[in-house]
Amino acid sequence: MTAAQTHVVYLDHAATTPMAPAAVEAMTAHLLEVGNASSLHASGRRARRVVEESRETVAQALDCRPGEVVFTSGGTEADNLAVKGVYWSRRAQDPRRVRILATAVEHHAVLDPLHWLATQGGATVELLPVDGAGRLDVAALEESIARDPESVALISVMWANNEVGTLQPVADVVRLAAAYGIPLHTDAVQAVGAVPVSFAASGVDALSLTGHKLGGPYGVGALVARRELSVTALVHGGGQERDIRSGTIDPPAVAGFAAAIELAVKEQTAYAARVGALRDRLVRGVMSVVPDAVLNGAAVERLPGNAHFSFPGCEGDSLLMLLDARGIECSTGSACSAGVPQPSHVLLAMGRTDAQARSSLRFSLGHTSTDADVDALVDAIGPCVERARLASR
């Protein structure tokens, strides 16, 4: 790598994005303070105040009540708590409620708990089809519910897809779920801060999010759950967080998380406009250099920072490493599946072949992305695709 190439071009913000300075400041302000937020002495009360003020900040940003914010270790725990906790509660109330409906393109943080419930918890899981853009077939959902509504324990539909960026028809799903009195969970990990998200206005019953996708620290997230929603705990202990998520709260991380959400929501409109324009420029540039590249996902209703391509004749892993050697970092899809030699379940559900799915890369932009980052990718992608195609032959 030459001196001119030592700068890293980071195009994997959907996996994790750099912490915002405001979040770093909020977090570090409390790192040297002692006090368990469950303790009754002055230090404990001070830590509790940090947690509760952060909870109020998160609630204001997401348009929910503070008591509806349950802090977790991140999006995966929040998804597990929603899917398993609501299923167990609903099943306990009525043993007939064994069905869980979800899209076939959910993140593995939802799909894997569903698989576990199907094999270990007596659940019947139905993964609903999507169209070629990765958008839920709402008619298929309606047909599935109507077939036996009393047996449905839960519906889980992500707000935005983490791989191809497609926004799901959450409002249509809310309408159907409400008509039948079925709780609806949405994984909004990719959506918060990128598109408008209001818990109260959306009508969902539970919503998952995490800090490190929107400029906050790793290891902290939340499940926003209506107070009226019954959720069985995954972790038992001290009874923290409404007695559905025991464990000592991390005040510094929670403070950084709250600061990041507050900033991301405040700047969402400007962020979407700037990053969306960068994304469009990236798409045009890549398509001009590699005309047979295929842009995956919805044309309009998609995350502003997402550009997901298939490059015919390439192996995505090989192309990723060629770009990485030039200081350009991207992804073949979900970082949680990195290193697993299997085609993307999202692309397969969208009707792509194994070869098409394996030829794909995701470029995701974020709050630190620049025109120079886009230019560097456009300069590099042509030669890298050519080399990847030669290698695959």
Annotated active-site positions, please?
336
Q: Is the dihedral of CA 238, 242, 243, 247 positive or negative?
A: negative
Reference 197, options 121, 250, 264, 110; nearest CA is 264
**Secondary structure letter of residue 5 according to DSSP:** G
Query: Which whole-number Å values give the CA distances from 93 to 51, 90, 232, in the listed order?
Result: 33, 5, 11
Phi-psi region of 95 (alpha: psi -120 to 50; beta: other; left: phi over 0): alpha
Which token pair is 183? Answer: 């709780």
Reference 17, options 270, 168, 194, 278; nearest CA is 194
**Secondary structure letter of residue 337 according to DSSP:** G
Please give the Cα distance from 222 to 74 (Å, whole number). 6
**Secondary structure letter of residue 193 according to DSSP:** T
**Secondary structure letter of residue 308 according to DSSP:** E
